[in-house]
């Protein structure tokens, strides 16, 4: 497959007053998404996001459903535009956003789960007892050793492997402060993070345990799009792995750098940051510099142009697949009527669209699909290969909407 893309979903810290407002003013589907969130939560999350108080929005119990809602609203806009990913990954909370967009949770359930997750994580450690700090270093082994040496019986671990040069440490506040002081002496840049709790460390164990119990009351379905898990930087194995992965994620480090490396190995050509901000875009520049990332917020039009430039015109792609598919039928009459004639019609259609400098109409698109299926059947292409070829056609042309609605009975021997 060519031009594979991944969607990246941001986590906590990407919230700001006004998030989602412009999106809702421009797209009805986004507005309806925020209305669904308001109804699911029983209060106006949209008002809090659009014109509320930043201190209140930043509370973990509010920030998490707000970020998830903005991400899902953006995802739905992209779906309407026919832009569908081959892979998805989310940073911390963003993993739940990704799973929701993959169909694992209903949106209403996901909003409530995000709010509950935020509440539990906030309650796990009393305010002021935990802390987190970003550390600008490549020497992960040295940082691990330092955490162990200055912990002094308290919790202090690496909680985020964000990029090749940025890690985050998390644990008891005094231990984090000791580490920051020692790192500063070694002229290693650090920054204490403005967070309400020490996320992704063993201090979150009460939240993880309670969240696991909460998850068991929800319907969990198979992901329709592969989602990379934070805990191991590998795609989810299925619905039966969701609870364990999300529970472990709360107390385990976010392996974001490894997740981005997985995208590279999976031949992803570009990514879209789905939600507010461009934190993940900036991280990708450090991790895998040759995979471009379009932050939907602020780069919407550039994304649309890139998406269009990456698509094959459906008629010319149908012609290419027709030529590339092996012929297994040597009856000259069948070949003439079932291969040559349909191909000539495709060529005429392509010439017409090129002359008029336009994309194929929906009627022409439907006819191109019929003609390609006729050619495949006439060539004696096996049924499974026909299915593969049609999937290839739709994905290469950026028309996964056609794949979802494709009538499989049209394929035949």
Catalytic residues: 92, 200
Per-residue burial over 4-15, b = 16 or more CB atoms within 10 Å of its CB, e = otherwise: bbbbbbbbbbbb
Q: Hey, which residues does 192 pair with through a beta bridge?
A: 133
CA distances from 186 to 17, 144, 181, 292 (A): 38, 15, 9, 34
Report CA-CA distances (Å) from 120 to 194, 231, 252, 300.
Answer: 18, 19, 16, 35
CA distances from 238 to 227, 228, 229, 243 (A): 10, 11, 11, 10
Contact 297, 276 (CB under 8 A): yes
Residue 391 in contact with residue 385, Cβ under 8 Å? no
Q: How far is C-alpha 357 from the chain's CA centre? A: 34
- Cβ-in-10-Å burial (0-12, 13-18, 19+) of 248 comes to middle
151 with 171: CB under 8 angstroms? yes
| Cβ atoms 231, 250 nearer than 8 A | no
Interatomic CA distance for residues 66 and 60, integer angstroms: 10
Rounded to 10°, the helix 60-80/94-101 angle is 40
Run of H or E residues at 172 = strand 166-172
Phi–psi pair at 210, nearest 5 degrees: -70, -35
Best CA proximity match to 280, nearest among 272, 270, 268: 272
For the chain, what is the radius of gyration of the CA atoms? Answer: 25
Q: What span, in angstroms and rounded, lies between the C-alpha atoms of 315 and 353?
A: 9
Place of tokens 């964000």: 162
């Amino acid at each position: 497959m060519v031009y594979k893309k991944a969607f990246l979903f941001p986590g906590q810290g990407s919230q700001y007053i006004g998030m989602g407002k412009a999106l809702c003013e421009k797209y009805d589907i986004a507005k309806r998404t925020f209305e669904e969130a308001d109804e699911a939560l029983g209060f106006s999350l949209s008002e809090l996001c659009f014109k509320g108080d930043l201190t209140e929005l930043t509370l973990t119990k509010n920030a998490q459903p707000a970020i998830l809602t903005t991400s899902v609203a953006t995802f739905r806009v992209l779906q309407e535009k026919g832009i569908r990913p081959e892979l998805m990954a989310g940073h911390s909370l963003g993993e739940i956003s990704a799973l929701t967009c993959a169909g694992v949770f209903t949106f209403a359930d996901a909003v409530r789960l995000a709010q509950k997750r935020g509440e539990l994580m906030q309650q796990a450690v009393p305010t002021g007892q935990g802390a987190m700090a970003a550390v600008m270093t490549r020497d992960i082994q040295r940082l691990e050793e330092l955490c162990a040496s200055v912990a002094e019986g308290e919790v202090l671990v690496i909680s985020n492997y964000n990029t090749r040069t940025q890690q985050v440490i998390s644990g008891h506040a005094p231990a984090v402060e000791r580490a920051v002081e020692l790192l500063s002496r070694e002229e290693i840049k650090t920054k204490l993070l403005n967070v309400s709790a020490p996320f992704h460390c063993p201090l979150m164990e009460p939240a993880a345990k309670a969240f696991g119990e909460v998850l068991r009351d929800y319907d969990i379905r198979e992901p329709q799009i592969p989602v990379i898990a934070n805990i191991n930087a590998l795609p989810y194995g299925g619905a039966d792995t969701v609870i364990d992965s999300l529970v472990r994620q709360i107390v385990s480090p976010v392996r974001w750098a490894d997740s981005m490396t997985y995208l590279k190995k999976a031949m992803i050509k570009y990514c879209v940051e789905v939600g507010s901000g461009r934190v993940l875009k900036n991280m990708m520049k450090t991790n895998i510099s040759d995979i471009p990332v379009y932050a939907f917020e602020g780069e919407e039009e550039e994304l649309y142009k890139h998406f269009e430039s990456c698509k094959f015109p459906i008629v010319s792609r149908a012609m290419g697949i027709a030529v590339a598919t092996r012929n297994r039928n040597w009856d000259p009459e069948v070949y003439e009527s079932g291969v040559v004639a349909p191909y000539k019609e495709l060529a005429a259609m392509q010439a017409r669209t090129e002359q008029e400098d336009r994309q194929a109409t929906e009627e022409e698109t439907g006819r191109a699909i019929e003609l390609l299926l006729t050619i495949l059947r006439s060539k004696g292409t096996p049924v499974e290969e026909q299915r593969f070829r049609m999937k290839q056609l739709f994905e290469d042309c950026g028309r996964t909407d056609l794949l979802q609605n494709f009538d499989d009975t049209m394929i035949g021997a």
